[in-house]
Amino acid sequence: MLKRLRRLIVFVLVLGLGLWSARTYLAIKHVLTYRPLVQEVLAETGSPAGQDLILAMIFTETKGKSDDLIQSSESLAGLPGHITDNKESLIQGITVLSENFVVADNAGVDVWTAVQAYNFGTAYIDYVAQRGEVTTVDLAKTYSREVVAPSLGNTDGQTYPYYHPVSIWHGEPKLLRNGGNYYYAKQVQLNLTLIKLVATIEEN
């Protein structure tokens, strides 16, 4: 009986991984269709950001299923859902990210701090600069708990479940309510790897 149960568990895990992989592959293929638009906006804005990084952020933010591709409405208008055009979303998002890169470079912190600041806000860059100059999940989690969440009303550390390969890998599949996503930079890193992998497969 125990042997059968183990086999069933393995089967379910393998099946689940297979389904997740297939869905992820198709989602990334869809995101890759935005490459020409990303190239166009990068050229127009003169941003130093790489195409694949922006595609990875699109995948992280919306999987290409929203008019506001890179969820940049809040940085423009302070409210979600304000932007309803793909190009406008990219222009605003890439502009914010590029400004983060400049601030991060001047502060002497790593580029992933600039990426995490896309989720947290530019103030996170100074926070990291004063605490080792390299963002980590633990540092981002502390900032979420001590700065972001309280500023938006969560003063008692309320959390909610957040199941994602990165959060599960780190052994804590949850986030602080109103605390942003302290796994954001790690998610973008993972998605950047997946973007490059799928792009290579599609080209061959």
Instruction: Write the pLDDT tens digit of every residue in 33-49.
Output: 999 999 999 999 999 89
Instruction: Write the pLDDT tens digit of every residue in 140-156.
Output: 999 999 999 999 999 99
pLDDT score for 181? 96
Q: Which domains does the chain have, with CATH numbers?
A: 2-203 (1.10.530.10)
Q: At which residue do the structure tokens 């400049």 appear?
A: 102
Instruction: Write the pLDDT tens digit of every residue in 49-63.
Output: 999 999 999 999 999
